[in-house]
Amino acid sequence: MSLIQKKYKRLLSQLVYFSSERDYVKDILKDAHLEFESFYQQYCRDYNIPLDDLNKKHADKLKKIFPKKKQEVDEAGLVKHEKSEIKKEKVDKTLQKMYRKAATITHPDKFANSESNEAIEASEKFKRLTSAFNEKKWAEFLDICEKLDILPSTYKKIIEIINKEIESIKNETAQLKKSYSWMLFECDEDLVCKMGVIKSFLKQIFGYEKK
């Protein structure tokens, strides 16, 4: 294995790891947002925080901070993305070649007359491959290619793309972890810590400090 191949594989491992970490944080936050709201409401009741008055007084500010946007889902229950949300940069030719090779291996037409486990797995892999490629989720896409023993024909541009993606994912994860829901989750069962999070939230959003 050449040095550039070793570098590629190491960076790909890092990309997959950071992508997995980001997805873990997002998954935790689905429940953590509900837990935050529940604890927040209970705290305000217990300590007689005039929440209704605060919400009315700062209604415009709240709309800007927490805009309500209804998410559409497809038949599989996955959130639909607007075209503008998907990165518009042209896909590198090396990635296109990798996709064509992977699609050839996993395309359902290869297993048209088969209902074997191999055919089912290939069909699912093809769907994930195509979705990842179209949505430019390079961690998932390159990981699938790696498992199919498909390597880039040239490495320089791919390594640049991976480094850029790693940086983007790390920044996104860092932003997610700055949310109050994540902070409350990190408190675990520490009540003092949780109350501190709510106090900080009230101060930042409303400029309110409990007397």
Per-residue pLDDT of the chain (211 residues; tens, 9 = 90+): 799 999 999 999 999 999 999 999 999 999 999 999 999 999 999 999 999 999 999 888 878 777 665 555 555 555 555 544 445 678 899 999 999 999 999 888 876 666 777 778 888 899 999 999 999 999 999 999 999 999 999 999 999 999 999 999 999 999 999 999 999 999 999 999 999 999 999 999 999 987 6
Record the pTM: 0.80
- Residues 6 or more apart whose Cβ sits within 8 Å of residue 203: 209
DSSP the chain: --HHHHHHHHHHHHHHHHHHHHHHHHHHHHHHHHHHHHHHHHHHHHTT--HHHHHHHTHHHHHHHS---PPPB-TTSPBP--GGGS--SPPPHHHHHHHHHHHHHH-GGGGTT--SHHHHHHHHHHHHHHHHHHTT-HHHHHHHHHHTT---S--HHHHHHHHHHHHHHHHHHHHHTTSHHHHHHHTTT-HHHHHHHHHHHHHHHH-----
Q: pLDDT tens digits for 107-125?
A: 888 766 667 777 788 888 9
